[in-house]
Chain A
Amino acid sequence: MKRQGFTNLVRALLLASAALLPHSTAMAAEVNAAVAANFTAAMKEIVTAFEAATGHKVLASYGSTGKLYAQIVNGAPFGLFLAADAARPKRLEEEGKAVPGSRFTYAVGRLVLWSPAPDRVDGEGTVLKSGEFSRLAIANPKTAPYGTAAMEVLEGLGLEATVSDRLIRGDSITQTYQFVASGNAELGFVALSQVALLPEEKAGSRWLVPQSLYAPLQQQAVLLKEGAGNPAAVALAEYLKSPAARAVIEAYGYGTE
């Protein structure tokens, strides 16, 4: 009897002290954001402006959409997920890992065929058909939506068989860009945002792949279960829809609808 009373007292004390612990208030909070690799540069700018405007802190992790999705599914503590496609945020919603109704398109991506050499790629991408290259870099289609789009383009043009032995796959669109920028691959399918703001001397040559050749890259963001009660996560999601963020997104060559 006495032990029962003691246990109850301890339990009551623990509960009381828990109630007294500080909750997340409207004070500056922190959010872990999972961001698709193609959005890296734009996100860094947006985060700087967001942190200055709201005082919240953002810890962004960049990687291929597929890798981030796999991490989230396995319990990675992200509050907000900015994917490069709509399929994975949708899947997270269906699996109950995201807050329903929080999914929205934050950017529409464009694929480009790019080379740092100024005369390599013409405005119609004929270099692809002529086959005058020894290596073509794409992002891994299994995990990167830009890689999937690149494969769609190659298959649509009937070039899949001819280039398959010269294809190198980057872990993410960032690594793909590095392969091309370092000269290890002469050409590569990268995101428009990665080359849109390059200075004149580094701009190289590119072919903006016509939208008709691949399914649109509707890049969607979704609030994850982990971020539901986090004011920083909610604020960041809202900020991405704001005119200030939209301006940055458009400056990098994305569409916003």
Chain B
Amino acid sequence: MELEPILLTLQLATVTTVVLLSVGTPLAWWLAHTRHWLRHPLGALVSLPLVLPPTVLGFYLLVGLGPNGPLGGLAEELGWGSLAFTFPGLVIGSCVYSLPFVVQPIQNAFEALGRRPLEVAATLRAGPLDRFFHVALPLSRPGFLTAATLGFAHTVGEFGVVLMIGGNIPGQTKVISIAIYDHVEALEYGSAHLLAGGMLGFAFLVLLILQLMNRRMARASA
């Protein structure tokens, strides 16, 4: 069984999840606490990838990342070359694609937290960063776990976007879903079964473990 697509997929999912957690947390905080009118259109924008078919995303990324597009043009100016068909390009695509799956659980967790614990912490002389790291974050742990799981799993399952901007390069952009598609098109059903079945088993196992972990965490904090 070829390991390259598997390793590449895991790499992509990990990098995407890390990037999204870093970028998504401040965004989720802002969306949860602000009263500025911009939170409505921005919230809708964040939810957009939930509704759009991945091929729409892939198409616009192809145009946007290409040399005639906004991002791609910038990359060209900086001398980086086109971002399409590269691993970084895929990361960008995956981040857009999985954005709502990471931001929304965290946002919900922050909203469920409410202002009370933070206000109480403030009366006890906790500064903003202190309040965030020692009060908000630990209490929102289930939300973060959900966000990380969903972001990771969603990226592992990504297909439409990668098909559009991937270019099917072994070792660079040929992720599991593309490899399976490739095998099926070439009537190599044995290899397709191996990859697809393996992925199914892995996904089930991961989700099962996370379910149990979540349950234990909820029980511990109850």
Please report A residues at the B interface, Cβ cutoff 8 Å.
Answer: 64, 66-67, 69-70, 73, 134-135, 137, 140, 142-143, 167-171, 178-179, 182-185
Contacts and interface: CB of A to CB of B under 8 A. Distances in A.
Kindly name the residue among A73, A137, A185 whose own CB sees the greatest number of chain B CB atoms within 10 A: A185
A69 B187 CA distance: 9
Nearest to A73: B187
B68 interface: yes
Given A66-B186, A70-B184, A70-B185, A182 B66 contact: yes
A182 B185 contact: no
Given A70-B185, A70-B186, 6 more contacts: A66-B185, A142-B182, A168-B85, A182-B68, A184-B66, A184-B84
A89 to B, nearest CB: 16
Interface of B: 62-63, 65-68, 81-82, 84-85, 163, 167-169, 182, 184-187
Given A135-B82, A140-B182, A169-B169, A183 B66 contact: yes
A169 B172 CA distance: 12
12 contacts: A64-B185, A67-B185, A134-B82, A135-B82, A140-B168, A142-B185, A169-B168, A170-B167, A171-B163, A183-B82, A185-B85, A185-B167
Contact of A168 (B63, B68, B168): B168
A184 B187 contact: no
Contacts of B66: 182-184
Contacts of A135: 82, 85
A184 B182 contact: no
